[in-house]
Structure 1
Amino acid sequence: METPQVTIQLPARNTQSPFSHMRGAHVAVRVPDYEASKQWYMEKLDFRLIHEWPFGDLQLAYLAPANDDNFWVELLAGGQPEAGANYTDLDESLHPAGYHHFCIDVPSVDDTLRELSQRGVTLVGEAFNLSAIGKRLAFIADPWGNLIEFAEQLA
């Protein structure tokens, strides 16, 4: 079954806003084990280590996707973080309030999932098409339960 192309009409940019200079930069992910999380993102997702530094009893790092210098993930590690939920079902994850996931655009969700499967990454639910936004989506979780979405624009 063919999915119809969806065009989302963006509102005009507001260049007169005092905040018109704002751009997305990074998302921070809290993890309990600095070295293990850094290695997971670098080995499983091919993220690159951009910078790392201590902050009090925490260790932090910026990581970026293999070929994207405009979006970074900041790892916040150390101390005694409270354990988060570890979802195996996407529907379960939609109930709590607060941060849910970050998204990475990919040319093919299915090809991405095949490669991640070969690297031992577990899918959270099944890939699905969401016709309302014209995308194919899939979710994974890092070993600490932080959700990551992959999105493919459908033709």
Structure 2
Amino acid sequence: MTLAGMTFTFSHDHVGITVTREDLDATIAWYSRTLGLAVEQRFEAHGTTFVFLTAGDVRIELVAGASDRGAPPTDDVLTSMHTSRLHHFCLAVADLDAALSRLRALDVPLIGGPMEIPATGRRIAFVTDNVGTVIELTEPGT
């Protein structure tokens, strides 16, 4: 079979987020405190620190090596599309309202939503982590 005729089978492994060395420990603490992720692995390679955070089948890789923070944090999902950053990643939750209530109790600001998306049959909302990474939360439709 030629390469052009190959079929790939994919499953999701992780999302990588670049943070500064100065923000690394605070970012680990933020994901642990607010989303319940735990450090699975931390190691150094090529002058960079890599930290894998996990909860269930969710894996986030924090990559700390740069000192430039890139795009500034945002407080509005509609104006957050800056080319120097990952725009967002999405986490599915069973109950969007309960998740948002917990995050509000932890002083995590909502930057968009909640809103219904008829095209996908889902409700979504957006928050940011401590360094401005946009996180979409989605609740499957009924």
Structures share fold, TM-score greater than 0.5: yes
Of 7, 10, 15, the match for 1:27: 15
Identical columns (%): 27
Query: Greater helix percent: which structure?
Result: 2
- Work out the CA distance in 1 between the residues paired with 2:90 and 2:110: 14
Of 36, 39, 51, the match for 1:49: 39
CA contact (8 A) 1:103 1:151 kept: yes
Of 86, 105, 130, the match for 2:117: 130
CA contact (8 A) 2:17 2:86 kept: no
Indicate whether 1:75 and 2:62 are aligned: yes
- For structure 1, the residue ranges without an aligned partner over 5 or more in a row are 1-15
Q: Given residue 127 of structure 2, which amino acid in structure 1 is its aligned partner?
A: I
**TM norm structure 2:** 0.86
Please list every run of at least 4 consecutive aligned residues from structure 1 whose deviation after the TM superposition is greater than 3 angstroms: none
- Work out the CA distance in 2 between the residues paired with 1:29 and 1:41: 12
- Measure how far apart 1:78 and its partner are: 3.4
- For structure 2, the residue ranges without an aligned partner over 5 or more in a row are none
**TM norm structure 1:** 0.79
- Work out the CA distance in 2 between the residues paired with 1:79 and 1:132: 39
Q: Given residue 53 of structure 2, which amino acid in structure 1 is its aligned partner?
A: L
C-alpha RMSD over aligned residues: 1.7
Cα offsets for 1:79-119 (capped at 9, x unmatched): 3133323111111124x346311111001111100001111
What count of residue pairs does the alignment treat as equivalent?
Answer: 135
